[in-house]
Amino acid sequence: MLMWEISSGQPPFNYYENDYKLALNIINGMRPKVISGTPLKYENLMKQCWDADPSNRPDIDTLCNRMHQLLQFYQNISNEILQQETNNNLEKLINNTMSKHISSKLFTSKIHQFKNLPEPRNATEEEQEAFHSKSYDCFNIPDNS
């Protein structure tokens, strides 16, 4: 989840209540939608870290090595491409800051103790799509007509 937060600039599941239902969705394989523009190698590594089976996840040494390789790759990119990505990231940062303001009321500090949860599993692509296509009840866009 930290890799997703780094790529998005915001906490995962920012628009969902932190409750039993969200915990159950995560255990059932729901993951945040990958942010558009996330490099494919970074995305693949992040998804590998999300695998429900811990034996399929990279160990810390592998993760550090692969992140170091990604960093070296991006340090070698031409300044023009890097500038374009910087502009895109700046736009994301502005949008995410506005999103944080909107969703700040969803966050509360509390400890949840859930019992009898099912074994973690990976969700199918269809389940992921259905989860992310649900409407958000927390938004009310006024009709200015």
| Domains identified in the chain, total number | 1
Instruction: Report if residue 145 sits inside a domain.
Output: no
Q: Is residue 137 part of a domain?
A: no
Crossing angle of the two packed helices 40-49 and 60-75, in degrees rounded to 10: 170
Using one digit for the tens of pLDDT, what is the confidence trace for 124-137? 888 888 887 765 54
- HSE-up of 129 (CA within 13 Å, CB side)? 3
Task: Kindly report the pTM of this predicted structure.
Answer: 0.63
Torsion angle (degrees, nearest 10) of CA 135, 112, 49, 2: 80
Query: Which residues of 70-129 form beta strands (DSSP E)?
Result: none
pLDDT tens-digit series, residues 2-38: 899 998 998 998 888 888 888 898 888 899 999 988 9
Judge whether 142 lies within some domain: no
Higher pLDDT, 24 or 83: 24
81 within some domain? yes
Structural domain range at position 46:
2-132
Angle at 59 between CA 55 and CA 61, to 5 degrees: 160
